[in-house]
Amino acid sequence: MTPLGNDLPTTWAALKAARSGIGPITKFDASSFPSRIAGELRGFDPRLFMSAKEARTTDPFIHYALAAAFMAMEDSRLSLTPHSALRTGVLVGSGRGGVMTNEKNLIAFMAKGHRAVSPFYTPMTLVNMASGCLAMELGARGPCLDVSTACATGTHAIGEAMKIIQRGDADVMIAGGTEAALSPLVLAGFCQAKALSHRNDAPETASRPFDRDRDGFVLAEGAGVLILEELGHAEKRGATVYAELAGYGLTSDAFHYTRPDPHGEGASRAMTLALTDAGMGPEEIDYLNAHGTSTVSNDAIETLAIKRAFGDHAKKLAVSSVKSMLGHMLGAAGAVEAAVTALAVRDGIIPPTINYRIPDPACDLDYVPNTAREQRVNAALSCSLGFGGTNAALVLRRPGP
């Protein structure tokens, strides 16, 4: 579920075509804000995935999670029996949770008092309710929890779900991230932090990771959910395998609320730990799906981190940021980017970094500029960096011998 399409085939086709999903904000009046552009979901109707009553009593971040998860289940042809449900878990995280419901109910409370607050307010806003609602809808009775680590949420969720399977607590995990944070309050906060692009007159060119003239990220919404499955379990039922999830690394910068460690040490170490977990060397990675936010500090520091982790091989890596087309989906970003990385492995097509026009001397790697590249991808790494200094990386590779 992305600004480029409300399903996987549409999104993937648009990414390969180097299209932007960024446009003017239409969900509320943003005319007074310094940044008035975003990556919105278009034409989404939650009633395609739930009843009208359920849609009214749940927040949009839950709507997006359920829609993405139902499509993932259909794509995987996975159905639950009373027995398999006990070994199927859910781990779908969110960075902000039900922020839109928070705003709506606070406005009602300030205007009319406590009786104007919805009786569903509390469950609608809890971050863990994306996982909870999905488990209830599917009858999945295995591990059910959430991760909330800002912009690294989706990557952490997938990595932790993998570890749950590896330690034998589940055979299947439905994992990913979801975010519906296009609200006036969230937009105001990022504007005040001076984190967003101000290219309001040219929204499709606003997100330009690694370009010298980048001026901030573009806020976006969406969800990404993957079906993770123990290999023997997948083979037994003849599942289609996109990629093998081979390694996971996570670290903390312990440096600043919002700024990454200027030496890139934490991000670099997360990548190295993911490679070690996969039992692979840096030279075995063909493609790196970067966090690539289009902010001045992130892109230069992430480039430095890649050089630290990959050494001489960094110059041979294909590196791209799909945030140039999707915007930054916060807690959903890492999950969507892991799915995109799996598709790059499967199809041998690396999505580009669009709007890359003027090289930055501090960003001097191969960023797959402006046009998708056909290239065999035996193994890839997807990296996410979050506020609070949290870092996560996943290694995906071609399945089979």
From the list 224, 227, 50, the residue with the least C-alpha distance to 133 is 50
User: Catalytic positions, please?
Assistant: 151, 291, 328
Contact 357, 208 (CB under 8 A): yes
Q: Which helix (H) or strand (E) holds 245?
A: strand 244-252
From the list 342, 345, 338, the residue with the least C-alpha distance to 376 is 345
**How do beta strands 373-374 and 349-350 pair?**
antiparallel
**Where would I find the H helices in 57-96?**
60-76
Q: Which two tokens stand for residue 302?
A: 């992430």
Which residues face 91 on adjacent strands? 145, 175
Angle between helices 60-76 and 129-138 (to 10 degrees): 40
From the list 182, 110, 170, the residue with the least C-alpha distance to 135 is 170
From the list 339, 391, 335, the residue with the least C-alpha distance to 158 is 335
Which residues face 360 on adjacent strands? 363
